[in-house]
Structure 1
Amino acid sequence: MDIVNGNEHMVKMTQVIELKPYQRISDLRLNQNYLGNVLSESLVALNTSVIGKLTKPTKLEKDSKVAVKVTKVSLPYNVELEMISDPFNVVEEGSAQRFLIESEILEKLKPLMIKAAELIKKSISQSRPIILRHHADCDGYICAIAIETAIKSLLARKHRDSIWHYYKRNPTKTPYYDYADAIRDLTTSLGDIKNQKPPLLILIDNGSTQEDLLALKKVVQFGFITIVIDHHQPTIENKKPIIEEYTHVFINPFLIGGDNSLTAGMLGVELSRLINQTSDIDHLPAIAGVCDKSQGREFDQYLKLANKKGYTVEFIKQLGQCIDFEAFHIAHMDSGLIEEILFTGIEQQKEYVNLLDQELEKRKKDIIKSAEKYVKIKEMKGFKVFEVAIKEILTIGRYPPPGKSIGILFEHFKQKSEKPIIVMGRGRDYITIRSNIDGFDLNKMTQELNKKLPHTQLCGGGHNLAGTIRFVAAAKQEVLDSITKYLSENHEPA
């Protein structure tokens, strides 16, 4: 409740929600306060299609604005309401709901998150198909599955056994919305576009950069409504995000002074709770945070929530590694396996980890042995560079893939080095990078190299300390030499 200063005393204001015109009885929440319009002494309208019966008659005039509490809902038509006599003010749905943690960044993002939740609920009410397109790693899966839990619950109320006609979840291996994925989404949705409504596309753990732009333009051209939920540094052009024109809601901590420590999984869990007050998901943000190497105040609070349910950092690392293993083999399939793992309970999760942990540890050790044999180490002033031909020490089609393997090698070499390091895994036409050099910014380096080497078609990026750059294969050695020069000029002490 808000507290408003009166001349003589403090007045408590009851917060009420105004039901949207498209919402139906199935959207009501028990014990929630709503704005109503008096129709008669016993009937109050919450909108043009939702009318409830008062438990006690009112003497207020017709069309009076009142605050009412929903005390009973019996589908399909019966709603019982209790009149609230306190002064009230109208608020956006979700604005009074608290996040799982205290966070200035989340509070700044809240208006956008409420807008996204509203757009999702409106799409469900209008029978607009929804596509969740998410990065196929642990963080991306957690964000998508948390939101999916809320969406499926609302869809079940409206469409019962036919919810899959209105909803799809598609993982993507690339850390951006690839044009090929856009074509897949369009191809599977052409019937919806022709016969119903263009879909709502929710991009998760990608969508913020130049590499996402063409695919976003394509689906928007066909009438898609888009929401982007991401924590990667967005591409800025003319002082605004390059994708801004092609998304209806863009949720990214970087836009309000945050960084990548508030991961997609954390954002997805909080958004899920705004959509449908989803419960039993407060252990998920910590799993996303540990797997995405998050740090900071928000992560620490989420970790405490997971600790209360018996999750330790070490166990979360093991569980996250197993989830990534499954995601690698699921590839582009819409599978419920990872959802089952996340919600099965900690005792069953321990059994699942025990099944895979020994094999995954063996594979990590094998990669480290091969890398130590073939790695090239450069001693720079103040840091070390570890360079390895990553695909040449891996078996094609076998987990872990190059990006995950570079992460493993980074953790290994970091522990052995007294200096900050940068690990570069070179492929035929790409370099995957992990670093802990103070002040290093992969995205800034990518932009500068692209200006100096326009003939290399260099692109890519990611987080400041982790990501991948791509280029034409003929330029590989030139790009490697340019990276070494850039590091020497910008990160070696004078």
Structure 2
Amino acid sequence: MSPQTPDDGAEVSADGVPTVYDLADGCSLDDVERGEYYRATVNGVVAYGVFVDLTEGLSGLVHESNLLGDYDVGDELLVELSEVREDGDVSFDEVELADYETERVDAGESVAVADLEDAVGSTVTLDGEVVQIKQTGGPTIFHVRDESGVVPCAAFEEAGVRAYPEIELDDVVRLTGRVEMREAAVQIEVDSLDRYEGEAADEARERLDDALDEYAEPNAVEPMVEWEAFEKLRPDLERVARRLREAVLEGRPIRMRHHADGDGLCASVPLQLALERFISEHHHDPDAPRHLLKRLPSKAPFYEMEDVTRDLNFALENRKRHGQKLPLLLMLDNGSTEEDTPAYRNLAHYDVPIVVVDHHHPDPDAVGPLVDEHVNPYLHDEDYRITTGMMSVELARMIDPSLTDELRHVPAVAGLSDRSKAEAMDDYLDLAAEKNYSEADLRDVGEALDYATFWLKYNDGRELINDALNVACDDRERHEELVDFLASRAERDVDKQLDAAMSHVEHERLDNDAHLYRIDVENYAHRFTYPAPGKTTGEIHDRKVEATGDPVITIGYGPDFAVLRSDGVRLDIPEMVEELVDEIDGGGVSGGGHLVVGSIKFVEGMREAVIAALVEKMADAELDEDLAATRPDE
């Protein structure tokens, strides 16, 4: 066969000149056609011709009879496919072109992440942003986000050696590779990986960001109940839903902190379920929900330095070991007060966005500059009657509307757990009744959650809590038996605690005619068991309210703390705390909470002075019969 010159079968450009194809690594013989021209590189010289590479995996021989010149290793030439033998050997002919245009051919078809399951076994091209780089003992795993989702891409070097070290987090890249199934999940085995530069990178990033904005848009859901007060918060919740969906799509982990009580669990568990489903929908890594979302209960009614130090250290370790971005911090039923700000300021040194959904009395001036989003009914002239659980159920539905039926009873549990007397409570109870829950059943669920989370301490107790709340629970009978057991144990332990404590409760009548009850919960209640000091104080308070029918304030105190409960007295505990900070020099006073429920800390040696000043302020407070029996739980 003689050397070839162009013929009419070759592809020509609009200008009428032949096209020469430059094949990307990853292209195979399937990408080569007879009659078309290709750029090749000499990889070996032998007596009978030269061997050439069209790609790393596609090579062949140009026989000496089909060569137009002499070549050394590394030289380039233009070739045309000549023959494919039965044994798989490939031969080419050299061609000579006076004029031509070059066109880059990427390996395989361009396939979106969402469609990769239909391309298993094929070589594909993918444009996207690198959102995680994890070095394993074998390949380097690049998690790449395109317009539709995130897929792990395995690039192989020597075992444990970083592949493509020039590629960094947040780079926009083009990769080619073969789509494979690994442990029942899609993965791309990388043949080539190139970073976009300059204007091309800007255009690709703009395209990706536009798609992210579209996918991050929250679902438009009808409210579970018609409630004018709640509608004020809906735009804020929509912004949070968008922020959370965006974090998932960007591959940013979410670290969820919530108050360890009934309302906190009613807020966090539905959101955990919604976010995990959204992660699974958009990430091909089956472990992504576990790696990208962590739910953590907080015992204190604020974000403690102990908690933030653990969270930050965990995040920094994950960034170093697993190539993750730093997380978004989601605070639920917590995070609105000045006490949270030292922890927030610690996070300000790092790229950790903070989102707060809470119904405790806020300090917006202190918290506002440190957080990215802050949803709180007080910011819209409403109050704690709109519980965090109620807000978070709507937030979960904006992320995944399919959860609606599964969550119908949860807002009622949240409201009863935090003693909400909102006008919408009857509607929420009616919703729960559609799932065959009576009000007594819902109260038992709240008690079971409170009891379980006390013993779980810092553990999220995922499966147990899901069963107790009947969210992601596949057995209603098991749920009911579990709730009955836990609620009964809680009632038993409360009775045991009050049997020991009630005879030690001190009583006096304040100048405003309110009853004041005090109990030293450190010395006259069982310690390190259920109920905790706050719950013990609340149960004593409830019994005194029921017994007297009058305005009642109850203080449960220990060496360096006091827990406050009030019915029928117009208190403002956060304001009282601020005043005590200024008035008692050396008192070390801090604290807060709701207006009529809260806690205060102080130095042990100043306990008598702090409590005396506190009682004096309570004696000056106005009575308000409308506040009776509307106390939220802390």
* TM-score normalized by the length of structure 1: 0.78
Q: Deviation per CA, 1:142-165, whole angstroms, max 9, x where unpaired?
A: 111111111100111213234212
Report SS of the residue matched to 2:538: helix
> Residue type of the partner of 1:422?
I
Cα distance change, pair 96–356 in 1 and its aligned pair in 2 (3 A): closer
Cα distance change, pair 93–142 in 1 and its aligned pair in 2 (3 A): same
Cα offset for 1:316? 1.6
Q: Deviation per CA, 1:152-196, whole angstroms, max 9, x where unpaired?
A: 001112132342122211111111111110011111111344433
Aligned residue in 2 for 1:249: 373
Aligned equivalent of 2:317, options 191, 198, 205: 191
**Is the contact made by 1:226 and 1:248 (CA closer than 8 Å) also made in structure 2?**
yes
> Residue type of the partner of 2:569?
D
> Residue type of the partner of 1:446?
V
Aligned residue in 2 for 1:282: 408
Report SS of the residue matched to 1:160: coil
> Residue type of the partner of 2:432?
A
Matches of 1:202 and 1:91, distance apart in 2: 20
Report SS of the residue matched to 1:461: strand
Aligned residue in 2 for 1:16: none
Matches of 2:246 and 2:216, distance apart in 1: 14
Matches of 1:453 and 1:138, distance apart in 2: 34
> Residue type of the partner of 2:467?
E
**Is the contact made by 1:129 and 1:192 (CA closer than 8 Å) also made in structure 2?**
no
Matches of 1:305 and 1:93, distance apart in 2: 27
Matches of 1:481 and 1:406, distance apart in 2: 18
> Residue type of the partner of 2:492?
K
Q: Does 1:465 align with 2:587?
A: no
Which structure would you say has the larger RCO, counting Cα contacts within 8 Å and 6 or more residues apart?
A: 1
Aligned residue in 2 for 1:32: none
Aligned CA RMSD, in angstroms, stands at 2.5
Q: Deviation per CA, 1:86-117, whole angstroms, max 9, x where unpaired?
A: xxxx9994474222111223322222211111
Cα offset for 1:223? 1.0
Aligned residue in 2 for 1:452: 583
**Is the contact made by 2:509 and 2:516 (CA closer than 8 Å) also made in structure 1?**
yes
Aligned residue in 2 for 1:215: 343
Aligned residue in 2 for 1:7: none
Matches of 1:167 and 1:492, distance apart in 2: 45
Aligned residue in 2 for 1:309: 435
Q: Deviation per CA, 1:201-226, whole angstroms, max 9, x where unpaired?
A: 10111110011001111123211011
Deviates most, 446-455 or 257-266: 446-455
Aligned residue in 2 for 1:374: 504
Matches of 2:270 and 2:486, distance apart in 1: 24
Q: Does 1:478 align with 2:478?
A: no
Aligned residue in 2 for 1:437: 568
Aligned residue in 2 for 1:45: none
Aligned residue in 2 for 1:58: none
Matches of 1:350 and 1:225, distance apart in 2: 39
Aligned equivalent of 1:113, options 237, 241, 251: 237
> Residue type of the partner of 2:345?
K
Matches of 1:361 and 1:288, distance apart in 2: 19
Matches of 2:433 and 2:488, distance apart in 1: 24
> Residue type of the partner of 2:261?
D
Matches of 1:438 and 1:346, distance apart in 2: 42
Deviates most, 193-202 or 411-420: 193-202
Aligned residue in 2 for 1:55: none
Cα offset for 1:25? 4.6
**Is the contact made by 1:144 and 1:204 (CA closer than 8 Å) also made in structure 2?**
yes
Q: Does 1:411 align with 2:411?
A: no
Cα offset for 1:288? 0.8
Cα offset for 1:346? 4.9
Cα offset for 1:479? 1.4
Matches of 1:247 and 1:147, distance apart in 2: 19
Aligned equivalent of 1:173, options 288, 291, 299: 299
Matches of 2:549 and 2:324, distance apart in 1: 61
Matches of 1:490 and 1:202, distance apart in 2: 36
Q: Does 1:339 align with 2:463?
A: no
**Is the contact made by 1:262 and 1:299 (CA closer than 8 Å) also made in structure 2?**
no
Q: Does 1:164 align with 2:269?
A: no
> Residue type of the partner of 1:387?
R
If each structure's helix is expressed as a fraction of its own residues, which one has the higher value? 1
Aligned residue in 1 for 2:484: 354
Matches of 1:335 and 1:358, distance apart in 2: 19
Return 5+ residue gaps in structure 1 as ranges: 1-22, 27-47, 51-74, 77-89
Aligned residue in 2 for 1:4: none
**Is the contact made by 1:261 and 1:299 (CA closer than 8 Å) also made in structure 2?**
no
**Is the contact made by 1:133 and 1:170 (CA closer than 8 Å) also made in structure 2?**
yes
Matches of 1:365 and 1:93, distance apart in 2: 49
Q: Percent identity?
A: 29
Aligned residue in 2 for 1:14: none
**Is the contact made by 1:192 and 1:199 (CA closer than 8 Å) also made in structure 2?**
no
Matches of 1:411 and 1:489, distance apart in 2: 22
Q: Which has the larger radius of gyration?
A: 2
**Is the contact made by 1:130 and 1:167 (CA closer than 8 Å) also made in structure 2?**
yes
Report SS of the residue matched to 1:435: strand
**Is the contact made by 1:368 and 1:412 (CA closer than 8 Å) also made in structure 2?**
no
> Residue type of the partner of 2:584?
L
